[in-house]
Amino acid sequence: MKLTGVELLRVRMPLVAPFRTSFGTQAERELLLLRAVTSEGEGWGECGAMVDPLYSSEYVDGVEHVLRTFLVPTLLAAGDLTANKVAPLLAKFKGHRMAKAALEMAVLDAELRAHGVSFGAALGSTRDSVPCGVSVGIMDTIPKLVDVVGGYLEAGYLRIKLKIEPGWDVEPVRAVRERFGDDVLLQVDANTAYTLSDVPQLQRLDPFELLLIEQPLEEEDVLGHAELAKHIRTPICLDESVVSARSAADAIKLGACRIVNIKPSRVGGYLEARRVHDVCAAHGVPVWCGGMIETGLGRAANVALASLPGFTLPGDTSASDRFYTEDITEPFVLEGGRLPVPSGPGLGVTPIPARLAEVTTAKSWLAS
Ligand code: SMG
Ligand code: MG
């Protein structure tokens, strides 16, 4: 297969409601899509990066720049290409994992479509649907939060994740437990908002039997997480800190986490995400699939990944209508708290042309 060109599409979609995390509030999702054109057909990629470098260091304009200047030209010049060659070809460029992940995803999609193989089959799927959780933002009031959580439980979500930050942690958790009971699978995500001086406050979450606390401390503080783990009962799950299979192995060995959130964009692509899964499985560490407010394209690939055997916890693989009134693909619809794993070639979904045109704010074509 030869890569002949890549189209970069800048897309902007309103969210059904603002999504507030410990690092900011988002009312719309602006992201980058890639259409890889190859000698065997085309494939789609989606980049997890947000407009501002607040979740991690990457951001949409930076991704676009590194793709245009370094990553895409390298693959265009590479001659015979397979998805497995993408990461080794791009390895000399440090970092920029979200940019690399999007490009690899587009090449992988093109390759799999050409061979008539689905993402799920290629990655090692063992199920045809996956259990779904939902990530619930920080709200202005506790009654509003309880209302929103009630709506998601009614919709069938099998696990609730509450975004937390100092000042919004024990009380929201208590309110959700009091209203919906101890059987609800409940977890929290701090997006690095705490420090080790918050140990006493984080200990106050212990009685609520949470599934996990996600990324309480900063990204680089793996040893801090190992220290925190000695003082709290809630299992620690790492998100931002795990950027590769190697860093996952290190974190596990150091005792920094008992569970891992796998986001393909954060670790440089679906092929590395599978290696993170394999490393965790080898250590008996449960994993689940994270989310970056994906469109139907990224969602399709995430659902495929989440159908691997080590994904034993429900992921942030919510339905399209969790964030979007109208998706750019056929929507993913919750059925009994689960989403079906697409079975068609490649991602198994494609953008609806008229819908894609509506949300596209800029396009550019890169070719050799
Ligand atoms: O796609 O359902 C989704 C979002 C899930 O909470 C979610 N993602 O840290 O896990 C996380 C956040 C990162 C993105 S927040 C803007
Ligand atoms: Mg997270």
Active-site residues, by number, are 163, 263
> From the CA of 212, which ligand is nearest?
2
Ligand 1, atom 5, lies closest to the CA of 291
Dist. CA 155 → ligand 2 center (Å): 22
What is the predicted pLDDT for the residue at 368?
Answer: 87
For the CA of 215, the nearest atom of ligand 1: 9
Question: 336 C-alpha vs ligand 1 centroid, how far in Å?
Answer: 22
Instruction: Give the number of the atom of ligand 1 that is nearest the alpha carbon of residue 317.
Output: 2
Query: Over the Cα atoms of the chain, what is R_g?
Result: 20
Structure tokens at 347: 């991602």
Closest ligand 1 atom number to CA of residue 291: 1
- Angstrom distance (rounded) from CA 358 to CA 368: 28
pLDDT 10s digits, 231-277: 999 999 999 999 999 999 999 999 999 999 999 999 999 999 999 99
Q: What is the pLDDT of residues 170-198, one digit of tens each?
A: 999 999 999 999 999 999 999 999 999 99
**240: Cβ below 6 Å to ligand 1?**
no
pLDDT for residue 46: 98
Question: Which ligand gives the minimal distance to the CA of 291?
Answer: 1
What are the chain's domains? 3-116+350-367 (3.30.390.10), 121-340 (3.20.20.120)
189 lines ligand 1 (CB under 6 A): yes
What pLDDT shows up at residue 352? 98
Can you tell me the distance from the alpha carbon of 166 to that of 169, in angstroms, rounded to the nearest whole number?
6
Cα(350) to centroid of ligand 1, in Å? 23
What residue's CA is closest to ligand 1, atom 13? 292
* pLDDT of amino acid 273: 98
Confidence of residue 228 (pLDDT cuts 50, 70, 90): very high
Whether 71 lines ligand 1, by a CB cut-off of 6 Å, is no
Rounded distance from Cα 199 to ligand 2 centre (Å): 19
Q: Where residue 316 falls among pLDDT bands split at 50, 70, 90? A: very high
* Ligand closest to CA 293: 1
The residue whose C-alpha atom lies closest to atom 4 belonging to ligand 1 is 291
Mean pLDDT within 272-299:
98
**pLDDT above 90 (res 226):** yes
Q: Name the pTM for this structure.
A: 0.98
* Centre of ligand 2 from the C-alpha of residue 102, in Å: 19
For residue 310, list its beta bridge partners: none
The full DSSP string for 141-182 is SHHHHHHHHHHHHHHT-SEEEEE-BTTBSHHHHHHHHHHH-T
| Long-range contacts, stretch 153-157, CB < 8 angstroms, 24+ apart | 153/180, 153/184, 155/319, 155/334, 156/334, 156/335, 156/336, 156/337, 157/132, 157/133, 157/318, 157/334, 157/337
CA-to-CA dists, residue 111 to 9, 86, 198, 345, angstroms: 20, 12, 48, 9
CA distances from 174 to 89, 144, 153, 334 (A): 49, 14, 17, 27
Q: Which whole number is the average pLDDT over 298-315?
A: 98
For 326, how many CA atoms within 13 A lie in the half-sphere containing its CB?
11
Please choose from 189, 242, 323 the residue to mutate so as to test ligand 1's pocket, defined by most ligand atoms within 8 A of CB. Answer: 189
List the one residue out of 93, 41, 42, 30 whose CA is nearest residue 67: 93
154 C-alpha to center of ligand 2: Å? 24
**Each residue's pLDDT tens digit, 36-51:** 999 999 999 999 999 9
- What is the predicted pLDDT for the residue at 79? 93
The response to whether residue 123 sits with its C-beta less than 6 Å from ligand 1 reads no
Determine the atom of ligand 1 nearest the C-alpha atom of 292: 1
Instruction: Answer whether residue 219 shows pLDDT above 90.
Output: yes
Ligand nearest to the CA of 21: 1
